[in-house]
Amino acid sequence: MSTALLTDLVIFVLSLWVGFEVISKVPATLHTPLMSAANSIHGIVLVGAMLIAVTAHNPIGYVIAFVAAAFAAMNVVGGYVVTGRMLKMFRRRPGTAVAEDGKRS
């Protein structure tokens, strides 16, 4: 096994454990936003999709790059926007989150 692969594997396994630790504390109330947030985070695949465009040099490569970029961008943008939209609705008492918004803007 190469050092690079071993390093990648270590990073992967440790990240899994960090994920388990952090996420097991999320209350059930927030499970849908959590899943949606996780969804937007896997939109990081956009980075991979962008890098495809660099090595693509033939029509099939360009088609793959286009589809991958479209898929990943949809994932990222849609994921973050809908998570934000959902979280905005969670209020302790009716009106509090709205008031907070007013202060911020």
Partner 1 sequence: MSGFSTTIQLIYVAAASCFVLGLHLMNNPATARRGNQVSTVGMAAAVAATLALIIHSGAITVTGWIVMAAGALVGAAVGLYSARTVQMTAMPQLVSVFNAVGGGAAALVGIHDYMTLADAGRGVPGSITVTTLLDVIIGAVTFSGSIIAAGKLQGLITSAPVTFPGSRAVNLLLAAVTLAACGYLITTPSLPVLGIVIVAALAFGVSMVMPIGGADMPVVISLLNAFTGTAVAMAGFVIGNWALIIAGALVGASGGILTKLMADAMNRSIGNIIVGGFGTGDSALAVLPGAGAGVRAIEADDAAIQLAYASKVIIVPGYGLAAAQAQYAVAELAELLESRGVEVSYAIHPVAGRMPGHMNVLLAEANVPYPQLKEMEEINPEFSRTDVALVIGANDVTNPAARRPGTAISGMPILDVDQAKSIIVIKRSMGHGYAGIDNELYANPKTSMYFADAKKALAGLTSAVKTLVG
The footprint of partner 1 on residues 24-83 (CB under 8 A) is 24-57, 60-62, 64-83
How far apart are CB 77 and partner 1 at their closest, in Å?
4
Tokens of 23: 């996420």
Residue number with CB closer to partner 1 (42 or 99): 42
**Which 8-state DSSP code applies to residue 24?**
T
| CA-based nearest residue to 39, from 11, 68, 74, 70 | 74
How far apart are CB 40 and partner 1 at their closest, in Å?
7
How far apart are CB 26 and partner 1 at their closest, in Å?
5
- As to burial, measured by CB atoms within 10 angstroms (0-12 exposed, 13-18 middle, 19+ buried), residue 80 is middle
How far apart are CB 48 and partner 1 at their closest, in Å?
4
Is residue 15 a contact residue for partner 1 (CB under 8 A)?
A: yes
- In the three-class reduction of DSSP (H, G, I as helix; E, B as strand; rest coil), residue 92 is classed as coil
Is residue 99 a contact residue for partner 1 (CB under 8 A)?
A: no
Among 4, 102, 103, 105, binds partner 1 (CB under 8 A): 4
Dihedral (C-alpha) 56, 60, 63, 65: value to the nearest 10 degrees?
-30
